[in-house]
Structure 1
Amino acid sequence: MTNMFCFQCQEAAGGTGCTIKGVCGKEPEVARMQDLLMYTAKGVAVLSREKRKQNVLCETPNRYLADALFTTITNANFDLQVIADKILQGLALRDHIKENVDVEALPEWLKTHDVITWNGSTIPELEEKAKHVGVLETKDEDIRSLRELLTYGLKGMAAYAEHALNLGYSDNDVFGFIEKGLIATLDESLDAETLTNLVLECGKFGVSAMALLDKANTSTYGHPEITQVNIGTRNNPGILISGHDLKDLEELLEQTEGTGIDVYTHSEMLPAHYYPAFKKYDHFVGNYGNSWWKQTEEFETFNGPILFTTNCLVPPRKKSTYSDRVFTTGAAGFSGFPHIADRPKGGSKDFSPIIEMAKTCKPPVAIENGTITGGFAHNQVVQLADKVVDAVKSGAIRKFIVMAGCDGRMKSREYYTEFAQKLPKDTVILTAGCAKYRYNKLPLGDIGGIPRILDAGQCNDSYSLAVIALKLKEIFELNDINELPIAYNIAWYEQKAVIVLLALLYLGVKNIHLGPTLPAFLSPNVTDVLVKNFGIAPISSVDEDIKLLA
C-alpha cells in the first residue's frame, strides 16, 4: 500500500499521481478518507438504486450522493473529521435503506458485497478500512483507467446536480445514472468495451445535468446579460465570496443589504454579476482578483472575510495573514476554518458570523482597476445570432475557438495566454470556466462590435457553449457539428472539466485539443481509443497549434 494515491487532477505529481502528499495540499490521511467516502457512496448507491426500482423516490440519497462526490473533488474539502462524519452518515443512510429493500433481489455478486456489509464507527476503524479501498485496488491498468474516468465524470455531474438541488431542481434520471455508474465501478464482470460505453453514457447524462443547472440558474436569476464588471474596490468593508454556488451568494447579499458592507466575487463567482437578479443589490460591487490559484497572494490584501462555497480552496501558507478570516460552507471545508451550516429546510444559511467580522475589517486594497466584460451565455448570444451569422458569412469572423475549462498553477499554462494573443484577428474566443483568467483582460478588441472574447460564465455554464454550437449548426443547416467553423482548445484541471469533456464527446464533437497535459488516469490503451475514435490530442507549441486550429 502506498501512503496515498491520487491522480484525479491535472497537476498529479510527476504526471502520474500523488503518493506522498497531494499537490493540491491534501494530506495522505485526507486522501485515504476521501477514497473511503467514495466507497461508502457506492454502498448507498447499491441500495438506493434498488429502492428506486420500487418507484419510491427520496431526496435524501440524492442529496447524500451529490454531497459525497462533490466533497471529494479537487480543492473542495481538506477536513479529515468532516469527511469521516460524512462516511458515518452514509453508513447510517445505507443501513436505513437496507431495512426497506429486498436485498435478495440484488444481483448475486452484490448480495453480500463488502460495500453494503462493512461497518466502522471510529476514526482508527475508518482509517484502517480506507487503506484497502483506493484506486490501486483495481490491478488491471485499463479497467482502472476506465473506472476512474467514469468516476471523475460522475463527480463533475454530482457538482452540477448539487447546485441545481440547492435551487430546488432535480432530475431523477441523472441520479439514477450516478447510482448506475458508481455500481459499475464495483462490477468485476464488466470488460473494457462495456466500461467505455458507460463512460460515453456518462457524457449523455452530463448534458442532462448541465441543462438542469442552466434551467435552475436562469429560472431563478434570469438569463445572463452582457455586463461590465468592476475589478477595482470601494472604501467600505468587504466580504469576498468564492466557489460556484449562486444560492449562497443570494442569501449573503440579502443578509448584508443595508449593513454598509460590500460584497465582491472571486474567481469562478465572477459570472454571478451577469445575472439580472443580482444587479438590484447596490452593495454587490465587483470582482476581486484572478484565478483560484492566486488566492494565497491576493487574499492578503483583501482585508475582509472570505467565504468558500465549493471547491477552489487552496490551503493557506503558514505565515498567511488571512487564514483567520476564511469561512467555508457546503462541500468546502478545511480544518480550523469556521463552517457555515447547511440551510434548514425552508430556511436560509446564517452568515451573521461573517457579517459581524466584516464590520471590524478595513476596506480591501485595490490590486487592479477597470472593468471586464462578460455575460455571453447562450440566450444572449442567440439574441446576437443575426449579427454573428452576418459576420461569419461576410468573412469578418472566420473561426471560433472554444478555450473553456480550468486554470492552474503550472507555468505551462502560459501557453493559453500566448495562444489567445497570437490568434488571427478574424477569430473569436468562446470561453467558460476559470481558464478565461489567462486571457480575459487582454486588449483583443472586437469584430464589428462583437468582442473577440465571449465569456459564457462559470465552468458550470459550459452547457451554453454546447447550445451555441448546436444553434449555429441549425442556422447554417449543417448535418454535423464538426462542420462548424469551431475548434476546441480546452484546458482542464479537475473533475468538472472531465464531465464537460464527456458531454462534448456525447454531442459528437471531435478533434478536441486538451492540455496542458493529458490526464494521468488515462492508460495508453484508453488514450488510444479516445484518439482513434474522437481525435483527442494533447496541445503542442503555440505556433503549431495556431496553424492547426486557427
Structure 2
Amino acid sequence: MSNEMFCHQCQEAAGNVGCSAKAGACGKPSDVSNLQDLLIYTLKGVAELNLQARKAGLNRDKTDRLMMDGLFSTITNANFDGEAIKDRIEKALEKREELKALLKEEGKLENKDYKGFVTWTGERKNFEEKSEDKEVGILATENEDVRSLRSLVIFGLKGMAAYGEHALNLNMHKTEISEFMERALVSTEDDTLTADDLVALVLETGKYGVDVMALLDEAHTSNYGNPEITEVEIGVRNNPGILVSGHDLKDFEELLEQTAGTGVDVYTHSEMLPANYYPAFKKHDHFVGNYGNAWWKQKEEFESFNGPVLFTTNCIVPPKASYSDRIYTTGASGYPGFKHIPNRAEGGKKDFSEVIEHAKNTKAPTGIEEGKIVGGFAHNQVLELADKVVDAVKSGAIKQFFVMAGCDGRMKDRNYYTDFAQELPKDTVILTAGCAKYRYNKLDLGDIGGIPRVLDAGQCNDSYSLAVIAMKLKEVFELNDINELPISYNIAWYEQKAVIVLLALLHLGVKNIKLGPTLPAFLSPNVAKVLVETFGINGIQTVEEDMEQFLG
C-alpha cells in the first residue's frame, strides 16, 4: 500500500499544489494526514444521520461537540498524534452507529442508498488501510473545480469548528450553526449539486462564519469584559513561568486561577497575546505579559523560555528534543510524546497541576527582548474612540485604513508585510487581528493625533471586530456600500481559520481583497477566476506595485 498523502489546505502546500510525500510541509506525517481524511469522511456519516435526528427531535449537544472537536483537530498544526486521531474516528463511528440505531428504533431512519461514509465499518487496527481508500481523501473528487469548491467549504467549516468550540467551552452555542455545519459537510458528497449550488454554499459558509465569530465575541466579552487599550510587557521576571500558546481563553482562565499563589508566573505566546487586553485577566499579578513572537519562531523561543509550554490549540511546530519534555497539549491539539491534559468533566475544570508542578522545578525565562507593545483595539474600544477617528478622517489626518489581519508564517516572502507596513504613508492606520501582526506590531510607526497607527483587535477569531468597525464607519459616514469606505484589505493567510475569515468578508460584501503571500493551492484556475471577477480578490505583487494599486 502507498502511504503517501495529499493535503492542500494550508499556505505552505508544496509547490502551491499540495503536499504528497511522506510528510507535509507542516511536519505532519502522511499516515496522520490520511487518518485525518478518514476522520472527516466518518464525520460526514455522523452529520448525515444527525440531520435526520434533528428533524425527529433526537439530537444531543454531545454530538455537536464531537463534530466541532473532530473538525478542529484536523486544522493545520493542531494535532500530529495519530493515536489521538484514531480515538476520534472510533468515537465518530460509535456515534454514527448510535444515531443509526436510535433512528431505526424511532422509525425515523430514511430509507435510501447510503454512501460509504455512512456505511463503512472497521477496527482500529485497520484504520490506516481504510484511510488510503480512494473514496476517502480529497482526490476522491475528480473534477478539479468541484474539488476546489468542496475544499473551500470543508476548510471553512474547520475554521468555524475552531471558533464554535471556543464558544462552547464558555457555554455559548447556537444550534443553527451546528446544523449548518452538518448540512454543508454532507453537501460536499452530493454529486447532484451544480457549480452554482456549490458557490452559493461557499457564500452561505461565510454567512455562518460571521455568526460564529459574533457568538465567540459575545462569549469572550460576557465572561472577561471588553478588551481595552493595554500596554503589554514583553520582558521577563525572576520567577519560573508557564508559557501559554494557542487561542482558548477558558483554558487560560483556569490556568491563571490554578497558578495563583504558587510562585509561578504566566506568559502568553503568539495568538494568546490578546488575553492581555481583557479586564478579567489583569487582576492576576502573576500574569506577566507576552513572551516571543509568532508561532513559527517557537523552536528558539521555547528553548530560551526554560519552563513548560501549554498548547491550548493549533500552531505546533515539531519540536527540538531539548525541550520536547516541557510541552503539554490540551483540547484539539496533540503531538506524539507530549503530555496531554484531559478535557474538563461536564461542569468541572481542567487540572493543570502537573504543568504547575513542572514549572516550579524550572529556571525563570531568559529574556529575549524588553519594552511594551500596545493592543486592545477591539470593536468596543474603537467605537469609544469613534468621534476622534471620524474627526481624523474628516480633517484628512487619516486618509486610509489598511486591514492587515490574518496569519504569519515562516516563508521569507512574508517579509513583504513588514516592508508594506513600513512604507505606508504616515496618514494611514493599520487595523489588524491574528498573528500576522507580529510582522509589524513592534515597529515604531507612531500615531495620528494620539491614535496609534497599528490598532490590534486581537486573535484571528477577533477579526469580527474589524467587520464591526467597518460596518459602524459605514453607518457614521452614511454610505450605501462598505466598499466606499477608505478601507483597503491586504490579508495574509496560513490555515483554515483564515479561510473562514475570508469567506465571512465575502459574505459581508467586501471586495478587492489582496490575499497572500500566495493564493490558496485549493483554488482551481476556474474557481480563482470566479473570485477575481466577482469579488476582485487578487494576489500580492511587490510592495511598490501594491502601494500604487491601493493608493494610486
2:220 pairs with 1:217: yes
The 8 Å contact of residues 234 and 369 in structure 2, kept in 1 or not, is answered as yes
The one-letter code sitting in structure 2 at the alignment partner of 1:31 is S
For 1:256, the equivalent position in structure 2 comes to 259
1:351-409 deviation digits (Å, cap 9, x = unpaired): 01100000000000000000000000000000000000000000000000000000001
Per the alignment, in what secondary structure is the counterpart of residue 103 of structure 2?
coil
CA shift, 1:181, in A, is 0.7
Distance 1:105 1:195, change over 3 A: farther
For 1:414, the equivalent position in structure 2 comes to 415
The one-letter code sitting in structure 1 at the alignment partner of 2:75 is I
For 1:238, the equivalent position in structure 2 comes to 241
CA shift, 1:53, in A, is 1.2
For 1:361, the equivalent position in structure 2 comes to 362
The 8 Å contact of residues 378 and 456 in structure 2, kept in 1 or not, is answered as yes
Distance 2:302 2:456 in 1: 24
For 2:506, the equivalent position in structure 1 comes to 505
Per the alignment, in what secondary structure is the counterpart of residue 368 of structure 2?
coil
For 1:91, the equivalent position in structure 2 comes to 93
For 2:375, the equivalent position in structure 1 comes to 374
Distance 1:202 1:223 in 2: 27
For 1:429, the equivalent position in structure 2 comes to 430
2:52 pairs with 1:50: yes
Which aligned pairs between 1:343-354 and structure 2 lie closer than 5 A? 343-354=344-355
For 1:75, the equivalent position in structure 2 comes to 77
Unpaired segments ≥5 residues, structure 1? none
1:424-478 deviation digits (Å, cap 9, x = unpaired): 0000000000000000000000000000000000001000000000000000000
The one-letter code sitting in structure 2 at the alignment partner of 1:215 is E
1:507-532 deviation digits (Å, cap 9, x = unpaired): 00000000000000000000000001
Distance 1:8 1:15 in 2: 10
For 1:171, the equivalent position in structure 2 comes to 174
2:392 pairs with 1:387: no
1:314-345 deviation digits (Å, cap 9, x = unpaired): 1113xx42111000000000010000000011
The 8 Å contact of residues 104 and 111 in structure 1, kept in 2 or not, is answered as no
Distance 1:105 1:506 in 2: 35
The 8 Å contact of residues 56 and 108 in structure 2, kept in 1 or not, is answered as no
Unpaired segments ≥5 residues, structure 2? none
Per the alignment, in what secondary structure is the counterpart of residue 33 of structure 2?
helix
For 1:472, the equivalent position in structure 2 comes to 473
Identity %: 66
Per the alignment, in what secondary structure is the counterpart of residue 173 of structure 2?
coil
The one-letter code sitting in structure 1 at the alignment partner of 2:148 is S
- TM-score w.r.t. structure 2 length? 0.98
Q: Which moved more, 1:94-103 or 1:324-333?
A: 94-103
CA shift, 1:120, in A, is 1.2
Which aligned pairs between 1:140-539 and structure 2 lie closer than 5 A? 140-317=143-320, 320-539=321-540
Distance 2:258 2:388 in 1: 41
The one-letter code sitting in structure 1 at the alignment partner of 2:376 is G
The 8 Å contact of residues 41 and 117 in structure 2, kept in 1 or not, is answered as yes
The 8 Å contact of residues 261 and 358 in structure 1, kept in 2 or not, is answered as yes
1:250-308 deviation digits (Å, cap 9, x = unpaired): 00000000000000000000000000000000000010000000001111000000000
The one-letter code sitting in structure 2 at the alignment partner of 1:334 is Y
Distance 2:159 2:357 in 1: 34
The 8 Å contact of residues 377 and 455 in structure 1, kept in 2 or not, is answered as yes
Per the alignment, in what secondary structure is the counterpart of residue 156 of structure 2?
helix
The one-letter code sitting in structure 2 at the alignment partner of 1:236 is N
Distance 1:227 1:268 in 2: 16
The 8 Å contact of residues 262 and 284 in structure 1, kept in 2 or not, is answered as yes
Distance 1:523 1:104 in 2: 43
For 1:16, the equivalent position in structure 2 comes to 17
Per the alignment, in what secondary structure is the counterpart of residue 120 of structure 1?
coil
The 8 Å contact of residues 2 and 19 in structure 1, kept in 2 or not, is answered as no
Q: How many residue pairs end up in the alignment?
A: 546
1:29-68 deviation digits (Å, cap 9, x = unpaired): 0000000010111111011111111234421110000000
Per the alignment, in what secondary structure is the counterpart of residue 311 of structure 1?
coil
Q: Which moved more, 1:113-122 or 1:270-279?
A: 113-122
Per the alignment, in what secondary structure is the counterpart of residue 23 of structure 1?
coil
The one-letter code sitting in structure 2 at the alignment partner of 1:549 is F
The one-letter code sitting in structure 1 at the alignment partner of 2:30 is P
Distance 2:3 2:525 in 1: 22
- TM-score w.r.t. structure 1 length? 0.98
Taking only aligned residues, the RMSD between alpha carbons, in angstroms, comes to 1.1
Distance 2:117 2:36 in 1: 15
Q: Which moved more, 1:191-200 or 1:445-454?
A: 191-200
Distance 1:158 1:106 in 2: 27
Q: Which moved more, 1:48-57 or 1:292-301?
A: 48-57
Distance 2:449 2:272 in 1: 29
CA shift, 1:122, in A, is 2.1
The 8 Å contact of residues 406 and 434 in structure 1, kept in 2 or not, is answered as yes
The 8 Å contact of residues 103 and 109 in structure 2, kept in 1 or not, is answered as no
